[in-house]
């Protein structure tokens, strides 16, 4: 197996892990929320959103890593790096927005997270 094929396979594996993190997190968050609703626990919706948001954040981070692996290691052209920069900017904005929704403060602000 050549280096380029190996890197492409690694990129696909990290992509799969990112999608798995989002899907697995959504399924697990839903299952836990249903169980809490059955037990009539307070704060179910807030906990569901926090768990789901963290799963999406993890998935986004893995998807960015996969894009970096494939773009920089396989086809490091100026055009592919520019596309990667756009993707990373969009996903970073999404991550920051999710972080704000989950914790109530921006990632660079110090403060106690509401775990």
* Ordered per-residue pLDDT tens for the chain, 115 residues: 788 888 889 999 999 999 999 999 999 999 999 999 999 999 999 999 999 989 998 998 999 899 888 887 776 788 888 888 898 888 888 888 888 888 888 878 876 544 4
Total count of domains within the chain? 1
Cβ neighbours around 98 below 10 Å, total: 19
Domain annotation covers residue 91: yes
Domain annotation covers residue 115: no
> Residue 104's Cα: distance from chain center in Å?
18
Domain annotation covers residue 81: yes
Domain annotation covers residue 114: no
Domain annotation covers residue 39: yes
Domain annotation covers residue 113: no
The position carrying tokens 């492409």 is 8
Domain annotation covers residue 31: yes
* Model pLDDT, residue 115: 47
Domain holding 89, by residue range, is 3-103
Q: Side-chain half-sphere of 99: how many Cα atoms within 13 Å? A: 18
Domain annotation covers residue 16: yes
- CA end-to-end distance (rounded Å), the chain: 45
CB 33 within 8 A of CB 42: no
């Amino acid at each position: 197996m050549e280096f380029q094929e190996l890197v492409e396979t690694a990129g696909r594996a990290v992509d799969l892990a990112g999608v798995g993190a989002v899907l697995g997190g959504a399924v697990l968050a839903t299952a836990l929320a249903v169980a809490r609703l059955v037990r009539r626990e307070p704060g179910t919706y807030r906990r569901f959103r926090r768990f789901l948001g963290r799963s999406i954040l993890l998935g986004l981070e893995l998807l960015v890593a996969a894009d970096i692996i494939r773009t920089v290691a396989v086809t490091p052209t100026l055009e592919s790096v520019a596309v990667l920069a756009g993707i990373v900017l969009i996903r970073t904005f999404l991550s920051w927005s999710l972080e704000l929704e989950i914790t109530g403060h921006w990632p660079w602000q110090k403060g106690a997270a509401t775990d």
